[in-house]
Each structure stands twice: as C-alpha cells, then as structure tokens.
Structure 1
C-alpha cells in the first residue's frame, strides 16, 4: 500500500492557509492522515472523485464517536441530542424522509419574501462602520429559523440569544444555553399543536415523527442552520479581495445563484465532514484506511481539485452551474437538507448588501480568522458602509 502523508492541522501555518497545505498533499496522495494537538488522528480524503465516492460508501459509518458531546449537558436534555446527522441506514431514512417536505425547493422558494423582509430589516439597523458578522450575518440565520418554525415575535428575543450562543461554538455559553433551547423547543412543538401556524412544526405534526424527534429537529436546525453566517462572511471577504468579481456581481445581480455556489466551493465554511468509521479495510487509490479508523472528507481540498475543476484556485462567479458539483453541502444520504435555504439566505443577503451600500468596503486591510481546523470562518468582519 502507498504511504500516507500527514497534515498537522493545528499547526499555525496550516490553520492560516489550509488550502495550500491540502493541495500539496493532494497532488501526491488521495488520502492524508490528519494529526494535531488535542485531537485523535484520522484519515482525510483529498480528491473530489474519491471524496464523493466515500460519502456514499456504506463501508464508512457514523458512530457516537463521530460527534463531540461537551461535558455538562443536563441529563434531561440528552434525549434530544441524537439528530439525523448522527443516524445511518433505515433510522436516518425514516427521519429524513419525514422532515424533507418541510425543506423542499418549493417551500424554500416560497420563503423568499420573508427572507427579503428580514434582510432589509437587518440592513436598516447597520451603522456607518459595523462588524458585518456580529450585526448582520450572525443574526440572520436565527431570524429565518424563527420564521421557519413559526416562533411568535414575542418569543424571538430569547431565540436570538440562543442563536448567538450556538454560533459562538462549544464553550460555557453554549452549554448554559442548552436547557433553555430544549425547553423552548418543547414549548414550540406544544404550541404548534394548540395554535397551528404556517411553520414547519405544524406541517410535520401529522407525520411519523415522535414528540422527541420533533424537538430534536428544532435542536438540529439551531446547530446546522448557522452555515449562512460564515458563508456570508467568507463570501464578502472573498469579494473584497477580488474586486473584479465584486464589480461583476454589482453590475449583474442575476449572477447571484452562480456566485453563491462558487463562494461555497471556493471558501465554504466547512473544511472537513463529520468523521465516519471504516467497517473494513478500505483501499482508496492505493492507500489503505484500516478497519475501525476514522475517515473525513477534506472538503476544502476536494473543492479545489484540478481533476474536477478548471483553474480551481481562481474565484470565478461566472463558473457554470452543474457537474461536477462542489461538496460544500456534503453528498449522498447526508447531503445538507437545508442547503436550498442556506443558498437563498446567502443570495439575498449578499445582493441586498451590495445594492444598499454601493461604497461597501473593508474597514481594515487584514482579516482575522478563528483558529479552527474544521471550520474556515472569520472572527470578525469590520466594514465601512459609505
């Protein structure tokens, strides 16, 4: 078997530029071994075709070890933590199949007016100099989740606090928020029975999901629904550093759907997929991932694989849609159920921002990123609006 090169993912140089680190390995091996302080080693697939195949390969399965369970979560909340992201096989198919109609392309398209209203309202609140992550991209997903769930306006201040706690990542604030989140999710499910509304919970009540599964779905939405925050932040920063692309999008907002896909490919927030475990020895282009080993797909590497994309390191918002698709929303049975809504939010947010503020510019020349080997995200995005 071919030797597997290592990538020290917590090394400052790799954290600062994971794309170069992965590219160097990708050209010699379709598989790398990721190592780093405070994390167990795991194998990463670096090339697009092999990565896409692995995400649909039943020999790689999820397990409890795939997900971080922060200590300190109260016992009565534990039953809501087993989301569909942690399921495989028939269990996953049943829960996903029941929830899927609430996230269909048709329903998402019907939410466009509501998303536009939320985006305009947030834009109205921005100061001349502002942190776009804190004041715009950060609050947006929680506002849309409240719309999706049918949360009454009187309850939304509390939900906004939950969104801020979740988007801040694992830490004391996140743990402290979990009991309140779960209690509010229980209340939302109960209210959807007694006072039906246009939210998805009322739509799902007559389906096969249990009460626990409905509450768990709300929890899953809060966790997975934060993607637009970092995609908008990364995308705006990328457009700042590529003024010709920024000018093209300003001149032709109809390019927005292509721009969102290209930004997700080029600077999507997820660097690595959730780890899966090999049920047997698996040969990937001559490199072995042994039975029991953890495997992840290096999305940041696969999405810039020259075997799949022409001139992959070039940001090009006119890049045609279609095959080969990027893996920013994963692939296979665990393709992101909320991808259409994440795309819609990002499209409306970015085009609205550029339309309202034609002189939008970074307030500082440098960007500050959170040191996270699994996520490509900014710590802040200070901008001048005019």
Structure 2
C-alpha cells in the first residue's frame, strides 16, 4: 500500500491528479524524501526557486557517473532493468544528450544546436503551416459518427512530420516512430526492449543509407562529422542523437497540442480572447506550457558533492527529482497559479515557467515546439470554429504515466 506521506512516482493518486498531489507535497516542504520508480530513495524538490536552483546548478549532474566514487549502478540503471531493457541496449538510453554532462553535453549540443536556433525555426514556419493545413484538410475524413481522434489525426502527425523531415526520416517510416515512442513511454517490459532494439537497428540502417546517398538533412551532417572528425561523435552517440531528437521532437509537442486543445475548449473565455487578438498566441503557448505542459518531471539529477538546498543537506551521490509541475503552480511565484490565463505576463525569470526546463539542459527544441503549437492551435480553431469535446472533460482518457500528462485519445467533434 502506498504511503501518501512519501513521494512515490508510482502512486496512482499522483498520476491521476498531479496538480493537486504534487501541490500538496510542495506545501509540506521544499525538499522531501521520497522514492524513485524502482524504490530508490530520492529527494523531491517542489518549489519554483528551488527547482530552478537544481536545474541550473552544475553540482547536480544528469549522469550518475559524474559523481566521484559513484556506485556502478544508479537508480536509472535499476529502473531500466525493471523495464526489461537488456544491458547491451542500456547505453542507448543512458548515454543520450539528455543524460550527459559537460564536456560531453556541450560537445553534443553544439553539433545540433544550429538547427534549432530561433532564426532557423522561423525559416521553417511556412513548412509547418503547409503541413498543418494538409492535416486539417484530411481531418474530417477520419471522423466516425462525427467524432475524430485529434491526437491520432493531427497532434501527432504534425510535429512528427516536421522533425522527421529535419532529421532525414523517410515519410513512409514515420508511423514506426509513433509505435516505438508509445512503447518506450509505456515502460512495459513486454514491449519496451523489442521497441528499443528495433529503433536502434533502424537508425543504424538509416545511417548506412545516408552514408551511401547523402541528402540535405541533419543526419547527413552528423555522418559527415562522424566520418571526418570521429573524435567528436561516436557511433553510439550518433544513433542516440537521432532517436532522441526524433522522439523528443514530436512526443512532447504532440501532447502539448492535445493538452492545449482541451485547456482552450474548457476555458472558452480564453479562446474568445485569442479570437479577438490572434497576436496573443505566443503568450498563450507559454501559459499552456506552464498550466498543462506534458512533461512534469525532468531527468533525475545527482549531487556531485554535499549541497544544502532550502535548509536540507543533500549528500554527495543522492538522487534529486525536480518537480516541474509543482514549481509551475507555486503561489510564491505565480499570482493565482491555478487560474489558466493567456494574458499572464511573467514579472521576472524570462519565460515565467520551467516547462521547458532551465539551465544547461533547457529544451533544445523549445522554439520549434512553441512555433508548432502556435501554428497548430491557431489554425485548428480557425478552421473548425465549432470544435468541441466529444466526451465530458472528466471522461477524457489520461494515460497513467509517472511524470507525464498526456492523453491516449482526444475525441472531438469538428462541427457543431
């Protein structure tokens, strides 16, 4: 039986109501002792300023091997074993750009960061608009009895098409990535290992194809870097960069679009403001990311030395879980944080939320995700002004995934 006084990612109450559950933990204290997925003791950091402190402090490492005299196995390794991932494949999950620290993280990020600058993303906007329009043209064809699944027909295909084009994944193969992504997120030991192995094999094959016939895409550029400057990019790093970019580049954005649609349909007064002033969409996307962002917990951090945080001593080697969802609803930082308000303007701290993270691991594709969400939602509500939920909000099928807020389906009616 779950002890509700101890933070535990697998607690069904936390997965069902993360806003209320983590909010109650936040008000109990800024730093709480809890458990990670497989039971490892973990510090949960719940308040806005302290979450930013953890995410921005190099003394909290993403890679447990950065901790001096660290044990051979980390909580992440134990969790992967619990999910059935064989040891020969774990390097593809724990050696990603998301899990590395400087200097490796700096080196890997430099290899791809130019692709995701604000200027390069702005140049992509016409293509994002074209893909969006094409998907909206076809969306009515998927309706049955007037109801269509917006996740399957729109929210997933849009960011998937964009990132796959950028990286160099052929259009015919994109449905494979949707299936692999679902299997990895579900963390089911019956399917996760096979999905990971298939994905790794696929990327190796795609690298072979691009090496024989290079094109103007990110993968071809990575291959040139690998072949000409092998010390800057290893084989495993190239594979993990590809599937990390593809999965991270569409999974979270798809669910931001889905969650954002629900937020606006259940707050018609906010949608009305956007219809009156389309120039408010950029502010709206930031508020959506704060209020219903799909990622509620980032990667674990590990203290590389003893650190005092909010009056609590975190000892070297301890695992630390920053809680984005409770930070983004912290009344110490946000006025009436439970209120969804697209006119909200941050008083300080840049974006005013930590939905895209903070510090060295701030989301590489944040500008692209914001643009895709803005284009997608504005076009969706303009094309289908009578769009409505096909089920009551309380009956929406939220997936019971620790640290994530995402819908299995989003049934909507396109016409009134």
Q: TM-score, normalised to structure 1's length? A: 0.89
Q: Structure 2: how far apart are the matches of 1:164 and 1:116?
A: 25
Deviations 1:181-231, CA, capped at 9 Å, x for gaps: 223323433444443333222344444434443222111113322111111
Residues 174 and 248 (structure 1), Cα distance of their counterparts in 2 relative to 1, 3 Å cut: farther
Q: List gaps (5 residues or longer) in structure 2.
A: 65-73, 226-231
Residues 73 and 41 (structure 1), Cα distance of their counterparts in 2 relative to 1, 3 Å cut: closer
Give the deviation of 1:176 after TM superposition.
2.5
Whether 1:86 and 2:99 are equivalent positions in the alignment is yes
Match runs of 1:246-261 below 5 Å: 246-261=271-286
Q: Structure 1: how far apart are the matches of 2:7 and 2:85?
A: 32
Q: Structure 2: how far apart are the matches of 1:159 and 1:206?
A: 24
Q: Structure 2: how far apart are the matches of 1:93 and 1:6?
A: 36
Describe the SS at the equivalent of 1:43: strand
Q: Structure 1: how far apart are the matches of 2:212 and 2:8?
A: 53
Residues 220 and 322 (structure 1), Cα distance of their counterparts in 2 relative to 1, 3 Å cut: farther
Give the deviation of 1:244 after TM superposition.
0.7
Q: TM-score, normalised to structure 2's length? A: 0.83
Describe the SS at the equivalent of 1:6: coil
Give the deviation of 1:362 after TM superposition.
0.2
Residues 281 and 165 (structure 1), Cα distance of their counterparts in 2 relative to 1, 3 Å cut: same
Match runs of 1:154-193 below 5 Å: 156-168=171-183, 169=185, 170-171=187-188, 172-193=190-211
**Quick check: 219-228 or 295-304, which moved more?**
219-228
Give the deviation of 1:371 after TM superposition.
1.5
**Match for residue 33 of structure 1?**
33
Describe the SS at the equivalent of 1:283: strand
Residues 249 and 38 (structure 1), Cα distance of their counterparts in 2 relative to 1, 3 Å cut: same
Match runs of 1:1-386 below 5 Å: 6-35=6-35, 38-61=38-61, 62-63=63-64, 65-66=75-76, 68-69=79-80, 80-81=92-93, 82-126=95-139, 127=143, 128-152=146-170, 156-168=171-183, 169=185, 170-171=187-188, 172-207=190-225, 208-225=232-249, 226-320=251-345, 323-324=348-349, 325-365=352-392, 366=394, 367-386=396-415
Contact 1:162 1:177 in 2 (8 A): no
Residues 120 and 74 (structure 1), Cα distance of their counterparts in 2 relative to 1, 3 Å cut: farther
Aligned pairs, how many? 379
**Quick check: 100-109 or 34-43, which moved more?**
34-43
Give the deviation of 1:116 after TM superposition.
1.4
**Quick check: 17-26 or 239-248, which moved more?**
17-26
Contact 2:84 2:192 in 1 (8 A): no
Contact 2:164 2:246 in 1 (8 A): no
